[in-house]
Structure 1
Amino acid sequence: MKYQDPASFRQALEQRLKDRADGDGALLARIRKRVAFDRLLVRLAAVAREQWLLKGGIALDLRLSARARSTKDVDIEWRAEDEALLDILLDAATHDSGDFFVLTIEGTDAPEDRLGGSHRFKVSTSLAGRPFESFVLDVGHRETQEIRSETLRTDDLLTFAGIEPVEVEAIALEVQVAEKLHALTRTYEGGRTSTRTKDLVDIVLISTLSSLDAESLKREIQEVFTSRGTHPVPYSVPSPPPEWDQPFQHLASEVGIPNKVTGGHRAAAALLDPILSGEVPAGTWEPEIQRWEKSG
Structure 2
Amino acid sequence: MRYQDAASFRQALEQRLKDRADGDGALLARMRKRVAFDRLLVRLAAVAPERWLLKGGFALDLRLSARARSTKDVDIEWRAEDEALLDILLDAATHDSGDFFVLTIEGTDAPEDRLGGSHRFKVSTSLAGRPFESFVLDVGHRETQEIRSETLRTDDLLTFAGIEPVEVEAIALEVQVAEKLHALTRTYEGGRTSTRTKDLVDIVLISTLSSLDAESLKREIQEVFTSRGTHPVPYSVPSPPPEWDQPFQHLASEVGIPSKVTGGQRAAAAFLDPILSGEVPAGTWEPENQRWEKSG
TM-score (norm 2): 0.98
Deviations 1:135-163 (A, max 9, x none): 00000001000110000000000000000
Q: 2 CA distance for matches of 1:115 and 1:12?
A: 42
Is the contact made by 1:112 and 1:118 (CA closer than 8 Å) also made in structure 2? no
Secondary structure of 2:279 counterpart: coil
| Distance change in 2, residues 1:116/1:203 (3 Å) | farther
Q: 1 CA distance for matches of 2:56 and 2:79?
A: 16
Q: 2 CA distance for matches of 1:252 and 1:100?
A: 37
How many residue pairs were aligned?
A: 296
Deviations 1:35-84 (A, max 9, x none): 00000000000111110000000000000000000000000000011111
Q: 1 CA distance for matches of 2:114 and 2:163?
A: 37
Q: 1 CA distance for matches of 2:12 and 2:48?
A: 30
Give the CA deviation at 1:110: 2.8
Q: 2 CA distance for matches of 1:288 and 1:114?
A: 35
Is the contact made by 2:113 and 2:188 (CA closer than 8 Å) also made in structure 1? no
What does residue range 90-101 of structure 1 map to in structure 2 within 5 Å? Answer: 90-101=90-101
Give the CA deviation at 1:117: 3.2
Give the CA deviation at 1:109: 2.5
Secondary structure of 1:49 counterpart: coil
Q: 2 CA distance for matches of 1:42 and 1:89?
A: 12
Name the counterpart of 2:168. Answer: 168
Is the contact made by 1:207 and 1:268 (CA closer than 8 Å) also made in structure 2? yes
Is the contact made by 2:113 and 2:189 (CA closer than 8 Å) also made in structure 1? no
| Distance change in 2, residues 1:251/1:19 (3 Å) | same
Give the CA deviation at 1:256: 0.5
Secondary structure of 2:27 counterpart: helix
Secondary structure of 1:59 counterpart: helix
Name the counterpart of 2:182. Answer: 182
Secondary structure of 2:50 counterpart: helix
Is the contact made by 1:53 and 1:170 (CA closer than 8 Å) also made in structure 2? yes
Is the contact made by 2:32 and 2:133 (CA closer than 8 Å) also made in structure 1? yes
Give the CA deviation at 1:112: 6.6
| Distance change in 2, residues 1:130/1:162 (3 Å) | same
Is the contact made by 1:248 and 1:259 (CA closer than 8 Å) also made in structure 2? yes
Is the contact made by 2:117 and 2:142 (CA closer than 8 Å) also made in structure 1? no
Give the CA deviation at 1:111: 5.6
Is the contact made by 1:101 and 1:127 (CA closer than 8 Å) also made in structure 2? yes
Give the CA deviation at 1:96: 0.4
Is the contact made by 1:112 and 1:119 (CA closer than 8 Å) also made in structure 2? no
Q: 2 CA distance for matches of 1:113 and 1:254?
A: 26
Secondary structure of 1:114 counterpart: coil
| Distance change in 2, residues 1:290/1:113 (3 Å) | closer
Give the CA deviation at 1:116: 4.7
Is the contact made by 1:180 and 1:203 (CA closer than 8 Å) also made in structure 2? yes
Secondary structure of 1:133 counterpart: strand
Cα RMSD after superposing both structures: 1.0
| Distance change in 2, residues 1:114/1:149 (3 Å) | closer
Secondary structure of 1:164 counterpart: coil
Deviations 1:115-138 (A, max 9, x none): 553100000000000000000000
Name the counterpart of 1:16. Answer: 16
| Distance change in 2, residues 1:153/1:239 (3 Å) | same
Deviations 1:247-291 (A, max 9, x none): 000000000011011110111001100000000000000100000
TM-score (norm 1): 0.98
Is the contact made by 1:93 and 1:105 (CA closer than 8 Å) also made in structure 2? yes
Deviations 1:204-249 (A, max 9, x none): 0000000000000000000000010100000000000111011000
- Point out where structure 1 has 5 or more consecutive residues left out of the alignment: none
| Distance change in 2, residues 1:116/1:243 (3 Å) | farther
Alignment of 1:110 with 2:107, yes or no, is no
Secondary structure of 2:195 counterpart: coil
Secondary structure of 1:113 counterpart: coil
Provide runs of 4+ in structure 1 moved above 2 Å. Answer: 109-117
Q: 2 CA distance for matches of 1:121 and 1:25?
A: 27
- Point out where structure 2 has 5 or more consecutive residues left out of the alignment: none
